[in-house]
Amino acid sequence: MKPMSKSPLQIARSTYQPKLPAALKGNVVLKEGATTQSVADQNEIKELFPNTYGMPLISFEPGETKENPIVGVGVILSGGQAPGGHNVISGLYDGLKVLNTANKLYGFLGGPSGLVDHQYVELTKEIVDEYRNTGGFDIIGSGRTKLEEEEQYEKGALICKKLGINAIVVIGGDDSNTNACVLAEYYSQKKTGIQVIGCPKTIDGDLKNEMIETSFGFDTACKVYSELIGNIQRDANSAKKYWHFIRLMGRSASHITLECALQSQPNICIVSEEVEAKNMTLNDVVETIVKVVVHRAKHGLNFGTILIPEGLIEFIPAMKNLISELNDLLAHNEDFNALNGDEEKREYVKGMLSTESCEIYRSLPKGIAKQLTLDRDPHGNVQVSLIETEKLLIEMVGKRLAQLKAEKKYNGKFSAINHFFGYEGRCAIPSNFDADYTYSLGYTASLLISEGKTGYMSSVLNLTAPAAEWIAGGVPITMMMNMEKRHGKMKPVIQKALVLLDGAPFKFFASQREDWADEKSSYVYPGPVQYYGPSEVCDQPTRTLLLEKGY
């Protein structure tokens, strides 16, 4: 690999030595805890995973010197990028070399497809050193190929045998780690001798539970987005104009939006899970926004910030039903595909929908309605993540305010600017927290492999304490699984973690949002991610994690 060009910050960060839990700074001994069961559907999950179900929790503690066998390990980066992926690989590499200098690490190129297609590179010290503490997944690339077929598993086993690979580490989110669990079960059943270990990655923050306190990348991404939100708020407070509608990543859960609100204190923050729980309509969401806009206008404040989660549309019950009907109606519908012209297609759709869904469809701006019928994924489903919800809300809020102005109930000025923060946070240089956390996850994965474990996810707990006090171990992936309907079939998947409305982070937000919405200035300007300086500035975890742990 050609050495990359580096900025002064990258050069400085390359010398940063991530902090490790004290228990990992020397020889360790594995301690087994309680046996586990899946979070739901225990009988079904146990039947599907007879070889990897019910395994105990694991922790590592200081221990005596021992001989460690020589192992070969393959690593896969799977799914979307998240800050810290390179440090998982760095920690894995260093851990393997500490265990036995003869150990080898191979990177499969382009994600899971690299395992199937036998595309790989041996990761040497020279290569790994180039990528320490950097953002991105470009050391070996990533991909979204799903490992679901026996033929794929067999091809993977073939290259592992050729290279002398004893274990595969899958760095990914809930779907990727579900694939890792299935792969671990298959290789155990076939007695291939190939272990599979997962690492919890996703900036969305929806891969977490009692044993996975947070997924890596969430901390950095939220700090990057919060800086941008703070910059916008300072501009709005300076110029005294524009309502900024800011859509943030997180289709399946609102963790990013909530965390950014906790860091920046915007005037309005919509939380999808609350919208669903209250059975709110799209008009209800609009009225929530309009109420604040009108109140601030009475005090001469025709500006503000509104945070919107990417997946909001799917959490509005009536919209969710509409999308479901459209998916059933239009997936591989040849009659619809043969129609010419937007209006002809629009009338066809209206004639096929239920009365309630038709009313919702008719109420939407034509651009959004068109998007719902034209932008389909390979399965024929609506690509919800492509819907520009912030633009939809701007248009609907603007129309409602015009009505109120005509009724002399509003006399402000409404000008709006839309933003979407997504890719800006996925490959940022990892924060100190993520740099340390991911390095510890990789190092822990090497220990799980050395102990012969499979079907486990690398786990590091006690994350609100200094890194030296973190607790490293492993959690059986089957413990996190339940059965869900995917493409018409019930399948085992890792249960997504949604924002809990009775959880401390949301309850704190709910107690503050009226103050943030009013005419008094409450904005917080978080500033850029800090890498150097006092620990209370540089090493702190997210507000979400601190509140969950009672701080």
Q: pLDDT value at position 382?
A: 73
Q: In the beta sheet, which residues pair with residue 78?
A: 143
Neighbours of 102 (CB within 10 A): 12
Instruction: Compute the distance between CA of residue 427 and CA of residue 529 in angstroms, rounded to an integer.
Output: 13
492 confidence band (pLDDT: 50, 70, 90): very high
pTM listed for this prediction: 0.94
Q: What is the pLDDT of residues 422-452, one digit of tens each?
A: 999 999 999 999 999 999 999 999 999 999 9
Q: How far is CA 168 from CA 103, 163, 197, 203, 387, in A?
A: 13, 12, 6, 23, 37
Mean pLDDT of 262-280: 97
Question: Exposure pattern of 444-480 as b/e (b: 16+ CB <10 Å)?
Answer: bbbbbbbbebbbbbbbbbebbeebeebbbbbbbbbbb
Residue 290 has pLDDT above 90, yes or no: yes
Mean pLDDT of 343-348: 86
Q: What is the pLDDT of residues 193-218, one digit of tens each?
A: 999 999 999 999 999 999 999 999 99
Alpha-helical runs (H) found in 416-480 = 423-426, 432-450
Write down the domain spans for the chain.
28-216+430-486, 219-426+502-548
> Which residue type, as a one-letter code, is found at position 92?
L
Catalytic residue among 94, 174, 175, 204: 204
Q: pLDDT value at position 247?
A: 97
For 147, phi and psi rounded to 5 degrees?
A: -90, 95
Residue 63 has pLDDT above 70, yes or no: yes
Q: pLDDT value at position 445?
A: 98
**Catalytic residue status for 518:** no
Residues of the chain above pLDDT 90, percent = 83
Q: What is the pLDDT of residues 296-331, one digit of tens each?
A: 999 999 999 999 999 999 899 998 899 888 888 877
Residues of the chain above pLDDT 70, percent = 98
**Residue labelled with tokens 């929530």:** 288
Q: Is 422 exposed, middle or buried (0-12, 13-18, 19+ CB in 10 A)?
A: middle
Give the CA diameter of the chain: 81
Question: Exposure pattern of 370-405 as b/e (b: 16+ CB <10 Å)?
Answer: ebbbeebeeeebbebbebebbbbbbbbbbebbeebe
Reduced to 3 states (helix: H, G, I; strand: E, B; else coil), residue 113 is helix
Instruction: Compute the distance between CA of residue 428 and CA of residue 82 in angstroms, rounded to an integer.
Output: 8
Q: pLDDT value at position 222?
A: 98
CATH architecture of 219-426+502-548: 3-Layer(aba) Sandwich (3.40)
DSSP state of 243: E
Range of weakest confidence among 453-457, 459-463, 528-532? 528-532
Is there a contact between 169 and 76 (Cβ–Cβ < 8 Å)? yes
Q: pLDDT value at position 379?
A: 59
CATH of domain 28-216+430-486: 3.40.50.450
